[in-house]
Structure 1
Amino acid sequence: MGTVELVLRSTRVITPEGTRAASVAVSAGKITAVEAYDAPVPDGARLEDFGDDVLLPGIVDTHVHVNDPGRTEWEGFWTATRAAAAGGITTLVDMPLNSLPPTTTVDNLRTKKDVARSKAHIDVGFWGGALPDNVRDLKPLHDAGVYGFKCFLSPSGVDEFPHLNGDQLTASMAEIAGFGGLLIVHAEDPHELDVAPHHSGPKYDDYLATRPRISEDVAIKGLIDTAKRIGARVHVLHLSSSDALPLIAAAKAEGVKLTVETCPHYLTLTAEEVPDGASEFKCCPPIREAANQDLLWEALADGTIDCIVTDHSPSTADLKTDDFATAWGGISGLQLSLSAVWTEARKRGYSLEDVVRWMSERTSALVGLDQKGAIEAGRDADIAVLAPEETFTVDAAELQHRNKVTAYAGKTLHGVVKSTWLRGRRIQHNGELTEPTGRLLERKN
């Protein structure tokens, strides 16, 4: 791969074989070797020695709403990718909504790329969208390099991205399966949402009752049945209901091509702690009770749930009213996701190797990013440097997100991201960021 230009050294490097003292050699943005800690530094190479700070593969977040163009005041590629870099994320995959236009045609994808190209501090890929009327657009989008297609089974919250009914789901899934694509699904059943109590006001318990677990369970069962019949590859987004876990485990055991994600807020926040009127905690599906959270962690440990992603879905502060019925539903957590998950994981006896598996290795595998997700020869030199024992208290005003609204405000978290490296270039150091050098990624045909 050419002359070694850079060596990154630490007493704790997380590799696919485990954590060890090592020196990571880098040339032309790629890892050329992971060698012994005291391996000689090649002539002309620069050495960066991080002591006991941990080197881990850059986090790959496959569920981010950047909202750019069209709703850039909600977030935008400049702020989203800066926040990601500050949190140790080196790659994100952008959701097809809530931008205007949504990523549902090749022309719309081109528009989004034109906006993102000069603003990306990290590498960025794109999901396409599956709508009731765009089946003919799915294959062209696939050929243009999107990583798969998102659909909703209940209203999305924005008019320009309508949900699919049963027949439309079958048609889109069959089309996508025909060219070997991936369908990713917001799985809440509209009928169960319709018959649930319709509360308004500031009480979180009232809001929680409006989105019961059964809405997820019924939708996931129907999704599994359809995927099994068609032979399609499907992915369940942002699972919050632990009641669906037996269905998922059984489907996987049966050979259904099913993967599942959950999110930091479901793993680190609980319904019991949400104050009245605090709609920074509102998301869909909702944050549920502590007992439900315990079962999600167990499902991560046994592989029923595959990975953890943020579902970063910000809005302007004025949309986060104190009425849970009308407030925008979305958690802003991009910059804090690694530290939040690590804080809870360590309390529960899990290791940083587990966190890397859930947040980098498996997310990379989900979308086929074989150049990401591990510190090993041949991969991109995308690395986060973490001080796992250090703590910090979240000050929303200091976040890189465009809108300083977070459910983690005031919380003390373990794991300080000291620096972030993208293809061997330091893009963030102690909170200071460089100019954008991220690339726009396309799925390999």
Structure 2
Amino acid sequence: MVTHDLVLRSRRTVLPDGERPAAVAVRAGTIAAVAPYDAVLPAAADRDLGDLALLPGLVDTHVHINEPGRTAWEGFATATRAAAAGGVTTLVDMPLNALPPTTTVEALRIKRAAARDKIGVDVGFWGGAVPGNLPDLRPLHDAGVYGFKCFMSDSGVPEFPPLDAERMAAAFAAVAAFDGLMIVHAEDPGVLTEPASGEYGAFLASRPPSAERRAVERVIALAERTGVRAHILHLSAADCLEPLAAARARGVRITAETCPHYLTLSDADAVTPAFKCCPPIRDAANRDALWDGLAAGVITCVVTDHSPCTPDLKQGDFATAWGGVSSLQLGFAAVWTAARERGRTLADVTGWMAAAPAALAGLPRKGAIAVGNDADLVAFDTGAVRVVDPADLHHRNPVTAYAGRTLAGRAVTTWLRGVPVDDVPRGALLTRNGAP
């Protein structure tokens, strides 16, 4: 008789076709069976989760881990600990804010060496497209990065400059030649201005929706011309939904993500620089329209854009402070809190924050409770209510826009390949298609 290592039973198991009672059996780190809730499944351990929901491990494809080089801002150990506490079992790290940025194969080697033996969850890497590294894109692809990030405007760090129109077109064509993925920070520098003051209203006015829309339209045109797969990062402006929907309808290979802070906060909440990010958090009507974009499938996934820094860089005003919202540990609970108030289901949120990001990056064993997938699982208490205390956060610098906010839902236990995540770094370094 086959004996499993672990069986988890829940009356609220979130499966690819919806939520229902089920038993999930794990053997050798893999989901070996998904059976009826009361099925007899011999196992070394059998746990009934009671009222807890059972989710697939979440996948966050937009995280700035910042190690090496700016490890005082964040690091692999602290970021992955925060991720696991929030139910996230797979991260894909952005190529900038670490030193060196991931724009060459050697820089990727350095970053992987920095991560090795520190990670509590699985970690993969994006590459970067910057002026001068066009010859590095194919070697990075072959070395296993999941795609290439570029900026159309200033990135905030000098070692990762933006691409002008000519270089961006060349990068899109080069990546299209090997059917890679371009992911774009889409704000048009010709529309952006310097804030007139340090107030949030002035900062918001300096980065209007038209900056995003013009940039998105440029990306659409380039994707249509080159045939590249393109993805819009951290979509903030709902004005972009119409051209994105039209492009997808005519077959352009373009997708878009948004972030928890754009779905759960508004400009009225932005009282300290902890709320500053680029593109900015906009008004409540814009927030409602982003939810409509999710419901319509124009926005396909929700990821955190966890972009932390040291506390001193979040001092001052909105003109001078570092832009980035830290929410890796809180993202799922924040979105779940808002989603259930809007009549959305746990399966909806899990689809946006697990299955869709896994599909974007090409992680076929992640993001769903299905036979053959990694046994990355989360016991989630949907009704737990807490007031966010920064002292409870695991990322290196406990600064967050969610401080003091009441959130529903908490990850009670997170399993990575069937083993509960603890202080032992059992995470794996991932590569696209198992590249060496």
Q: TM-score range by the shorter chain?
A: over 0.9
SS state at 1:191 partner: coil
Which residues of 2 match residues 9-408 of structure 1 at below 5 A?
9-42=9-42, 44-193=43-192, 196=193, 198-201=195-198, 203-275=199-271, 278-408=272-402
SS state at 2:136 partner: helix
Q: CA deviation at 1:41?
A: 3.1
Q: CA deviation at 1:16?
A: 1.1
Aligned sequence identity (%) = 59
SS state at 2:330 partner: helix
SS state at 1:326 partner: coil
Amino acid aligned to 2:356: R
Structure 2-normalised TM-score?
0.98
Q: CA deviation at 1:274?
A: 1.6
Do 2:270 and 2:276's aligned partners in 1 also have CA atoms closer than 8 Å? Answer: no
SS state at 2:240 partner: helix
**Alpha-carbon distance in structure 2 between the residues aligned to 1:237 and 1:358:** 14
SS state at 1:23 partner: strand
Q: CA deviation at 1:197?
A: 5.5
Taking a change above 3 Å as real, the CA distance of residues 52 and 97 of structure 1, as seen in their structure-2 partners, is same
Aligned to 1:430: none
Do 2:12 and 2:54's aligned partners in 1 also have CA atoms closer than 8 Å? Answer: yes
Give unpaired runs (5+ residues) of structure 1: 428-432
**Alpha-carbon distance in structure 2 between the residues aligned to 1:378 and 1:151:** 34
**Alpha-carbon distance in structure 1 between the residues aligned to 2:135 and 2:205:** 38
Amino acid aligned to 1:72: T
**Alpha-carbon distance in structure 2 between the residues aligned to 1:217 and 1:22:** 44
Aligned to 2:5: 5
CA shift digits 1:380-416 (9 cap, x unpaired): 0001110101111100011001001000001110001
Aligned to 1:436: 425
Q: CA deviation at 1:36?
A: 1.1
Give unpaired runs (5+ residues) of structure 2: none
Q: CA deviation at 1:271?
A: 0.3
Do 1:320 and 1:327's aligned partners in 2 also have CA atoms closer than 8 Å? Answer: yes
Q: How many residues align?
A: 434
SS state at 2:191 partner: helix
Q: CA deviation at 1:198?
A: 3.0
SS state at 1:334 partner: coil
Q: CA deviation at 1:434?
A: 2.7
**Alpha-carbon distance in structure 1 between the residues aligned to 2:196 and 2:29:** 53
Do 2:155 and 2:161's aligned partners in 1 also have CA atoms closer than 8 Å? Answer: yes
SS state at 1:25 partner: strand
CA shift digits 1:61-112 (9 cap, x unpaired): 0000000000000000010000000000000000001000000000000000
SS state at 2:224 partner: helix
SS state at 2:212 partner: helix
Amino acid aligned to 2:36: A
Amino acid aligned to 2:276: K
Q: CA deviation at 1:322?
A: 2.6
Aligned to 1:409: 403
Do 2:382 and 2:410's aligned partners in 1 also have CA atoms closer than 8 Å? Answer: yes
Aligned to 1:421: 415
**Alpha-carbon distance in structure 2 between the residues aligned to 1:3 and 1:51:** 23
SS state at 1:22 partner: strand
Do 1:197 and 1:209's aligned partners in 2 also have CA atoms closer than 8 Å? Answer: no
